[in-house]
A = this chain, B = another copy of it.
Amino acid sequence: MTRLFNDPSRFADDMVTGFAAAHPEHVRAVPGGVVRAERPHEGKVAVLTGGGSGHYPAFCGVVGPGFADGSVIGNIFTSPSAAQAHSVATEAETGGGVLFLFGNYAGDVMNFGLAAQRLTDEGIPARCFAVTDDIASAPAEDTTKRRGIAGDFVVFKTASAAAEEGASLDEVVRVAEHTNARTRTLGVAFAGCTLPGQDEPLFTVPEGKLGLGLGIHGEPGVSESELTTADDLARTLVEGLLAERPADSGAENGRVAVLLNGLGSTKYEELYVVWATVSRLLAEAGLEAVRPEVGELVTSLDMAGCSLTLTWLDDELERLWLAPADTPAYRRGALATPTRPAADVRTRSPRARTSAATPAPAVAEGAGADTSAFAVRALRTAHTVLHEQEEALGRLDAIAGDGDHGRGMCKGVDAALAAAERAESERAAPAALLAAAGDAWAAEAGGTSGALWGAGLRALGAGLPADRAPEPKELAAAAESALRAVTALGKAEVGDKTLVDALQPFVTAFTQQLGDGTGAADAFTAAARTAHEAADATASLRPRLGRARPLAERSIGTPDPGAVSLATVLVAVAARA
């Protein structure tokens, strides 16, 4: 279990502080993560890795010459926010554009996607690429639904090496795609990991069994079977991967990059015992392992288990795989020892960091100020009720997730309320006020729900007038716009057991009541009641597969925490605001 921490909610922050203090030759801390200590030459594509923490050396351990330019560091097993990604990118980029690389999880796709959009809007070319190497997470004909696990490392490595060679942004993206298309991973788990501050592991595997294909946050795998010998495990992993040999690898020379990766508590000696057999089986299959890596490359706190990754190399990929790199956790080949950065490099003023997408704070006039005041009251009510319910929401989330939903919602609403109050004191119009609140929520809460609440609040305000009370049809349009923003970002549909299961019924009922001529307050109250019933009804649904949703079937019979928190806020706002 994870035992060493101070305040569990500050674990990632404390970790980054210590990490940067330990590696001043390689990295410096910036808001949202770390960048290389020494600024690369102008015009180099900035390759940024990222994701939740708890996976060290993924993702921040591979920042340095020959590898990544920076890393965006979320809380444990939680996507960083778009604001974090944007912040790290503005510190790291030197005019060649930005590529965000991460594993394929909803929260990461969402937040890095938002950051890339914002950078592009600001004139900085930015792209995203999500690694999909985990063959156990979706069938071969549906590879885009696969998760990214230890194969992240190979894709990060080759793409970073291409950027170091001076490739353009398009070229670096092509290398990432090409590597990913030839990379396959299969993993097993024997025991779950425990999050800081919790007493129980995130998931369990019966003693003497192994979970084949279990994800690195405990997401469901393919099957559970007897844990037998190291030889048998090696054979299972090698045969599983060879069955998925990429179609275009036939003409190649049979050379593969290989990672035998330990997840945390499965130690080096055990991995070497497995490697003795893996290396023999690969040779028997006619494959030559090119600079194999045996060790901990993508971990899951103290989870017990391991994975095997194969990347079928061609000449280009082999060159990039073997290129030298010098980072805190990974050093290969002959690069000069990095020197401490010159002071002027360290203290260079960052580029403008205010998002160009934030609307200018138009001043609220007349009844427009009433709308802003109502929004602040509503956020204050949300603040009160979410803090009251923090523990209950956490318990709900702990049944199938990592139990941090209550904490995340509180962090989000704290930031949103503070931003809204500041905006109101500056007499901001409703659109600007809700945009500021939404951005603050997304930035502080991080993760999937943070990004969704942020996008929803921003969209909610966008059409509201600055100088008068909104018409009923403007209110309906605002609600529909919020729903669209959430579904566009999260891709969830009704029935997926997400907050959409409460939001969509709310918006439908609210719009219908307004259309029937009901007053806004009564329409809101009725719709909130509908949302509340809908949230309860999510108990019967099968959950959508997502990050930190281990052994998802456990949650059948309990309502979705995201839907519950939304409904709770809506009902409280109807009653109190």
Contacts and interface: CB of A to CB of B under 8 A. Distances in A.
Interface string A266-289: 111111111111010000000000
A318 to B, nearest CB: 15
B17 A267 contact: no
Which residue, of A61, A267, A299, has the highest number of chain B Cβ atoms within 10 A?
Answer: A267
A292 B233 contact: no
B304 A11 contact: no
A166 B7 CA distance: 50
Contacts of A53: 269
Given A18-B279, A22-B279, A273 B4 contact: yes
A426 interface: no
Nearest to A210: B3
A272 B53 CA distance: 12
Given A273-B11, A275-B18, A334-B337, A5 B230 contact: yes
A227 interface: yes
B4 A230 contact: yes
A324 interface: yes
Nearest to A270: B4
A274 B4 contact: yes
A229 interface: yes
Nearest to A274: B4
Given A227-B3, A334-B334, A265 B265 contact: yes
Contact of A304 (B3, B21, B276): B3
A334 B332 contact: no
Greatest chain B CB density within 10 A among A54, A272, A275, A336 is at A272
Contact of A14 (B57, B276, B332): B276
A4 B21 CA distance: 35
B265 A302 contact: yes
A6 B272 CA distance: 12
Contacts of A292: 22
A264 interface: yes
A156 B244 CA distance: 45
A335 interface: yes
B6 A294 contact: no
Contacts of A296: 268
A277 B304 CA distance: 28
Given A57-B268, A299-B267, A273 B18 contact: yes
A331 interface: yes
A231 interface: yes
Contact of A61 (B5, B268, B337): B268
B269 A15 contact: yes
A433 interface: no
Given A4-B274, A275-B18, A334-B337, A269 B230 contact: no
Given A1-B304, A11-B269, A265-B302, 19 more contacts: A2-B267, A3-B227, A4-B274, A5-B229, A5-B230, A6-B229, A14-B230, A14-B272, A14-B273, A15-B272, A18-B271, A18-B275, A21-B276, A54-B269, A76-B269, A264-B267, A268-B329, A295-B329, A334-B335
Interface of A: 1-6, 11, 14-19, 21-22, 53-54, 56-57, 61, 76, 190, 196, 227, 229-231, 233, 264-277, 279, 292, 294-296, 299, 301-302, 304, 306, 324, 329, 331-337
13 contacts: A14-B273, A14-B276, A17-B276, A18-B272, A18-B294, A22-B292, A53-B269, A56-B268, A56-B272, A265-B265, A267-B302, A331-B331, A332-B337
List the 10 closest pairs (A to B, CB-CB), nearest first.
A18-B276, A18-B272, A18-B275, A4-B270, A56-B268, A331-B331, A17-B276, A14-B273, A4-B230, A21-B279
